[in-house]
Structure 1
Amino acid sequence: MDFGLTEEQQLIVDTTRAFVENELYPHEQEVERTGHLRMDLVKELQAKAITAGLYAANMPAEVGGAGLDTLTWLLYEKELGRANYALHWTCVARPSNILLAGTPEQREKYLFPCIRGEKWDCLAMTEPGAGSDLRGMKASAVEKGGDWVLNGTKHFISHADIADFAICFMASGEEDSSRGKRKKITAFFVDKGTPGFTVRDGYRNVSHRGYTNAVLEFDDCRIPKEQILGEVHKGFEVANSWLGATRLQVASTCLGRAERALQHAIDYAAQREQFGQQIGKFQGVSFKLADMAMELKAAELLTREAGWKYDQGTVTDQDMAMAKLKATEVLAFIADEAIQIHGGMGLMDDLPLERIWRDARVERIWEGTSEIQRHIISRALLRAVGG
């Protein structure tokens, strides 16, 4: 593995960072203090992102994206991750890769408008009683007269309030397994405005202000079979084929925020004086900085290695779990230590540290909790010796 960046990768990093610093940073305080991202601002920044070539850059070149390899895409995600989540996710949207699994007709209706910035998508899996246990979902899909009728509830569905459609995973049957009955899952495209489909306001969240979640309710919502994504009862296969790198995406955005917090801590330690000298010269502070830098480097190397292996076709669930686990926990550690170095000022919203600290909390929960990641890692270790 070559640890150096190519000229093209460095250009993407520099371009993305400049966009984040010049176009997104100036709006962070407004979003943080109001908890709202204005749609007129979204449209303005979206147009700038499209012009800069940063919009939908995660998509292959043949469908209008940037065609980035996985490692380069993760470098791009890291730079975007420095900013308020609502700003970078909504204004520099990266449509879900699962849209690539659609038929040619579905691509025309859903994928291409998202790439052009005309539509937004959202992904609906989680339910009030089925978080990490997706096989435990109760929201159902039943075939009736050639159509499918959906019933049930999804929650914690990110940015569903602005999404034009949802990709919904529903229990569509049962099958026998070594552990008894388990749900068969089918994925559906559900357009906003479909009778029986309601999007309600979700919960107030301490993390990622302006980035909303919603509750989706299905009440005899009738969907034609043409809106099945993939095959009937093969929803997990679709998800596993197209959503594999999302944990690396989470890891990369966490690295960006961790690096930003660390730089604030370094700058403050070099400028702030107490007892006649810079506080960075006190061992209690300097050792904190050393540990923060070391942990960040370890998290970044795990993430880059997993990205590189993804493109080689050798990545494992264990690789991605390690990267996600390490990066999210390192972000929490660095955010906390950066505030400690700043003292009381670190908790004031004049600086981004208190936001980074708050935002860090959700990263150890979504896209698989830290406990799920440890389960994946330990299971791989034990299986290797017959455990």
Structure 2
Amino acid sequence: MDFGLTDEQRSIVEVTRAFVERELYPHEEEVERTGVLRPELAAQIRQKALAAGLYAANMPEEVGGAGLDTVTWVLYEKELGKANYALHYCGVPRPSNILLAGTEAQREKYLYPCVNGEKIDCLAMTEPGAGSDMRGMRTKATREGGEGGGWRIKGSKHFISHADEADFVILVAVTGIDDAGRSQMSTFLVDLDAPGVALHDGYRNVSHRGYTNSIIDFDDVYVGPDALLGEEGKGFELAGEWLGSTRLQVAATCLGRAERALDLSIQHAATREQFGQPIGRFQGVGFKLADMATELRAAELMTLHAAWKYDQGTATDADIAMAKLKATEMLALVADEAIQIHGGMGLMDELPLERIWRDARIERIWDGTSEIQRHIVSRSLLRPLGA
């Protein structure tokens, strides 16, 4: 693994960083204060992201994306992650790579418009009774008209990110039971304006102000046979493939926020004086900075190593789980220590630290809790021994 960045990688980092500082940072105060990302502001940022070549950068070149390798994509995500989540995730969309599993007709209808900024997707897996246990979901899709027919969908999903801005939903639903009595799931592409689809406001969240979640009800919704994404009964595998890359995305954005918090802490420790000297000279502060920097570096190396292995085709679920686990828990530590170093001002909204601290909490929950990541890692260690 080469630890040096190529000229192209350095350029992408610089362009992304400049965009974040110029186009996203100035709007953070508004979004944090109001809790809303105005649709017209989101549209304005999307147009600028398109012009800057940052839109759909996670997609391969053959479908109109930037074709970034995974390591470069992680570096890009790290820079975006420094900003308010709603601004960078909704303002600089990265369509779900699960759409790459579609037929050419599905790509024409859904993927290419997402890449071109004409449509927005959302993913619906989580239910009130099924979070980490995907096979516990109850939303069902029943085939109509025999083999080759369409489907009737009934059920409800919640915690569906930015569904209120989306044009269609990538839906995972139960379509059968296997020989072991486990639910078989399939994935569908469903337009949100289809008859029987009802979108409701979700829950108020302490983390990521301006980034919405919704509840989606499916009341006897009919979709044609062309709505099936991938193979029938293979939705679990398809979702698992998608979750791998998004867990790296979570890790990368955590790195960005931690770096921003550390930079602010270093600056404060070097300039804030107490008892006649900068507070960074006191071991109680200086050692905090050392621990924050060490944990950040360790998480960054683990994330980049997992990304590198992903590019080589050798990454395991455990590699990605360890990266997400380390980066999310590192961010919690760094955010907390950053506030401690700043004292009372750290909790004031004049600085982004209280926001970073609040936002850090959700990272250990979504896209697989820390407990799920530990389960994945421990299972990978014990299974070869038959345990």
Fold in common (TM above 0.5): yes
**Cα distance, 1:244 vs structure 2:** 2.4
- Matched with 1:231 is 231
Matched, 1:27 2:30: no
Which residue among 162, 166, 174 is the counterpart of 1:171? 174
C-alpha contact 1:98 1:243 (8 A) present in aligned 2 = no
Q: Deviations over 1:244-290 (max 9, x none)?
A: 21111100000000000000100000010001110000000000000
Which stretches in structure 2 are left out of the alignment for 5+ residues? none
What secondary structure is seen at the aligned counterpart in 2 of 1:45? helix
- Residue 241 of structure 1 and its aligned partner are, at CA, apart by 3.6
Q: Which residue in 2 is equivalent to 1:159?
A: 162
Structure 1 match to 2:89: 89
- Whole-angstrom distance in 2 between the partners of 1:385 and 1:221: 46
User: 1:108-147, aligned counterparts within 5 Å?
Assistant: 108-145=108-145, 146-147=149-150
**Corresponding residue for residue 98 of structure 2:** 98
Give the partner amino acid of 2:155.
G
| Per-residue CA distance 1:187-217 (angstroms, 9 max, x = gap) | 1111011111111100000000000000010
Query: Counterparts of 1:256-295 in structure 2 under 5 Å?
Result: 256-295=256-295
2 CA distance for matches of 1:237 and 1:261?
37
Partner of 1:149 in structure 2? 152
TM-score, L = length of structure 2: 0.98
Counterpart of 2:178 in structure 1: which amino acid? E
Q: Once the 2 structures are TM-superposed, how far is the Cα of residue 42 of structure 1 from its aligned partner?
A: 1.0
- Whether the 8 Å CA contact 1:101–1:242 is kept in 2: the answer is no
Are the counterparts in 2 of residues 196 and 221 from structure 1 also a CA contact under 8 Å?
Answer: yes
Cα RMSD of the aligned pairs, angstroms, is 0.8
Give 1:308 deviation, angstroms: 0.2
Runs of 5+ consecutive residues of structure 1 not aligned to the other structure: none
- Indicate yes or no: 2:211 matched with 1:218: no
Q: Please give the TM-score of this superposition, normalised by the length of structure 1.
A: 0.98
TM superposition shift of 1:240: 2.9
> Which letter does structure 2 place at the counterpart of 1:252?
A
**2:243/2:367 contact within 8 Å kept:** no
In 1: Cα distance, 2:25 partner to 2:88 partner: 10
Cα separation, 2, equivalents of 1:14 and 1:169: 37
What secondary structure, in the 3-state scheme, does the structure 1 residue paired with 2:110 have?
helix
**Matched residue SS, 2:179:** strand
Aligned to 1:365: 365
1:239 CA drift (Å):
2.1
Aligned to 1:352: 352
Aligned to 1:207: 207
Give the drift of 1:242. 4.0
Deviation of the 1:367 alpha carbon:
0.5
Deviation at 1:237, TM superposition (A): 2.4
Structure 1 vs Structure 2: percent identity of aligned residues?
70
Query: How many residues end up aligned between the 2 structures?
Result: 384
Q: Is the 8 A contact 1:125 1:168 kept in 2?
A: yes
